[in-house]
Amino acid sequence: MADKKTKNVFKKGAISSDFIGTSIAKHQSKTTIGAHNIFLGQVRADVIDNKTVAAIEYTAYEDMANEKFHAIREATFKKFDLTCMHIYHSLGTVKAGEICLFVFASSPKRKIVFKAIEYIVEAIKADVPVFGKEIFEDETHQWKVNK
Amino acid sequence: MADKKTKNVFKKGAISSDFIGTSIAKHQSKTTIGAHNIFLGQVRADVIDNKTVAAIEYTAYEDMANEKFHAIREATFKKFDLTCMHIYHSLGTVKAGEICLFVFASSPKRKIVFKAIEYIVEAIKADVPVFGKEIFEDETHQWKVNK
Amino acid sequence: MTINVKYFGLIAEITTCEKERILFTKKNVSEFLELLYLKYPSLKNKDFQVAQNQELVSQDALISGHELALLPPFAGG
Amino acid sequence: MTINVKYFGLIAEITTCEKERILFTKKNVSEFLELLYLKYPSLKNKDFQVAQNQELVSQDALISGHELALLPPFAGG
Q: Residue D77: inside a domain, yes or no?
A: no
ipTM of this predicted structure: 0.94
Q: Residue D40: inside a domain, yes or no?
A: yes
Q: How many domains does chain C have?
A: 1
Q: Residue D18: inside a domain, yes or no?
A: yes
* pLDDT tens-digit readout, A27-75: 999 999 999 999 999 999 999 999 999 999 999 999 999 999 999 999 9
Q: Residue D19: inside a domain, yes or no?
A: yes
What is the residue-averaged pLDDT of chain D? 94
Distance from CA of A146 to the nearest CA of C (A): 5
Q: Residue C12: inside a domain, yes or no?
A: yes
Give the predicted TM-score (pTM) of the model.
Answer: 0.94
Chains interfacing with D (3 or more CB pairs < 8 Å)? B
Other CB atoms closer than 10 Å to residue C14's CB: what's the count? 17
Q: In D, which residues are within 8 Å of B69 by CB distance?
A: none
Taking only the tens of pLDDT, chain C with its 77 residues reads 889 999 999 999 999 999 999 988 878 999 999 999 999 999 999 999 999 999 999 999 999 878 999 999 999 98
CATH level 2 (architecture), domain B10-143: Alpha-Beta Complex (3.90)
Q: In B, which residues are within 8 Å of A18 by CB distance?
A: 21
**Ramachandran bin of A139, using left for φ above 0, alpha for ψ from -120 to 50, beta for the remaining angles:** left
Whether B24 sits inside 8 A of A21 (CB atoms) is yes
- Predicted confidence at residue B1, as pLDDT, reads 39
For CA atoms C34, C40, C42, C45, give the dihedral sign. Answer: negative
pLDDT at A102 over 60: yes
- Predicted confidence at residue B2, as pLDDT, reads 41
Query: CA–CA separation, A109 vs B22, rounded Å?
Result: 26
Whether B61 sits inside 8 A of D9 (CB atoms) is no
C51 in reach of chain A (CB within 8 A): yes
Q: Residue C76: inside a domain, yes or no?
A: no
For CA atoms A70, A76, A78, A83, give the dihedral sign. Answer: negative
The four Cα atoms A86, A89, A94, A97 give a dihedral, to 10 degrees, of 40
Are D and C close enough to touch, i.e. 3+ CB pairs under 8 angstroms? no
Residue D19: which CATH number? 3.10.20.30
- Predicted confidence at residue D26, as pLDDT, reads 73
Q: Which of A63, A100, A146 sits opposite C74 (nearest CB)?
A: A146
**Secondary structure string (H, E, C) spanning C9-22:** HHHHHHHCCCEEEE
Q: Residue C77: inside a domain, yes or no?
A: no
Containing structural domain, residue C52: 2-71
